[in-house]
Amino acid sequence: MLFAKPGIYEPCGLFTLNHFKLIIITMLGIIVALNKTVNKSKEEIKQIIKRCTILVWILEAIKISFKITTGGIRNVNNYVPLYYCSLLLYAGGLASFSKGTLKRVGDVFLATGGIAGGLIFIVMPTTSLPTYPMMHFLSIYSFLFHGIMLYLGLLLNITNYITLQLSDIKYYASLVGAVCLLAFILNNIFDSNLMFISKNFPGMPIEYIYKYTGKFFTPVVSICQMTLPFYTIYGLRTKWTGSVLSQEPTAKRDGSLLHQ
């Protein structure tokens, strides 16, 4: 069952008992991982990012091999890692092995897009559970992948590994935009739908965008992916940190002593 071809076993399906089991297991794993790592130093957190990135690249290579073996090489939608959540692979690499601006690009995406992409997929795993059973490699890997994505995003924010600025949108948008551009080129060559920017994806919220945007579908979806996740997470983080600061004693916030 672990590497069975599609159609041999009954798929897990969305919002089924097994789907909820995977959600619970993933969330418990994230909680345990956070409890063990929130007190790590910045250098230790960087090593965690590096190890997670290496792990997902190894598993992604196995996934690509399986997809090509079972679905052929012509269907690039099936195996080319150029989707929003695939950006973990590239952002993780930048955050782990680069310095300066490129590292900032990786860190910013992990801290924003990682949370948005990981959480959305865990709730709506439309590329795995509708096709494969719960105990299939691709089902397990998809939840591990997006669990890591969500975990790293939360870790970077909780530990203040990175202090997000509104101006960081340029780093976030540059990475997502570059991948959208590459996906658009490949989509025109192979009639594919990488990054979901060239065709409709029935059953997903993107279907409504496709219906009402017409010929502007590609730029609208691209811009949405290049902006909305960042601003959403940035706004939530700003609100949360502001709330925390407002509850702290003034002496703790500014280092001064209050005299009664």
* Residue 111 φ/ψ, nearest 5 degrees: -75, -15
* Residue 7 φ/ψ, nearest 5 degrees: 95, -15
Both structure tokens of 56: 């997902």
Instruction: Tell me how far CA of residue 232 lies from CA of 62, 112, 117, 198, 214, in angstroms.
Output: 33, 8, 12, 24, 26
* Residue 6 φ/ψ, nearest 5 degrees: -60, 140
Alpha-helix residue ranges (DSSP H) falling in 191-255? 206-213, 217-247, 250-254
Residue position matching structure tokens 């952002």: 91
Write down the pLDDT at residue 134.
Answer: 97
Burial class (CB in 10 A: 0-12, 13-18, 19+), 149: buried
- Cβ pair 19, 12 in contact under 8 A: yes
Write down the pLDDT at residue 211.
Answer: 87
Whole-number Å distance between alpha carbons of 77 and 83: 9
Write down the pLDDT at residue 246.
Answer: 55
Task: Kindly give, in sequence order, each residue whose CB lies less than 8 Å from that of residue 124, ignoring residues fewer than 6 positions away.
Answer: 14, 204
Predicted TM-score of the model (pTM): 0.91
Query: What Rg, from alpha-carbon coordinates, does the chain have?
Result: 20
Write down the pLDDT at residue 251.
Answer: 45
Give average pLDDT by consecutive 10-residue segment, the chain, 260 residues.
92 97 98 97 97 98 96 93 97 97 98 97 94 97 98 97 96 98 97 94 82 92 97 92 59 42
Whole-number Å distance between alpha carbons of 250 and 77: 54
Write down the pLDDT at residue 1.
Answer: 84
Write down the pLDDT at residue 260.
Answer: 34
Amino acid residing at 37 = T
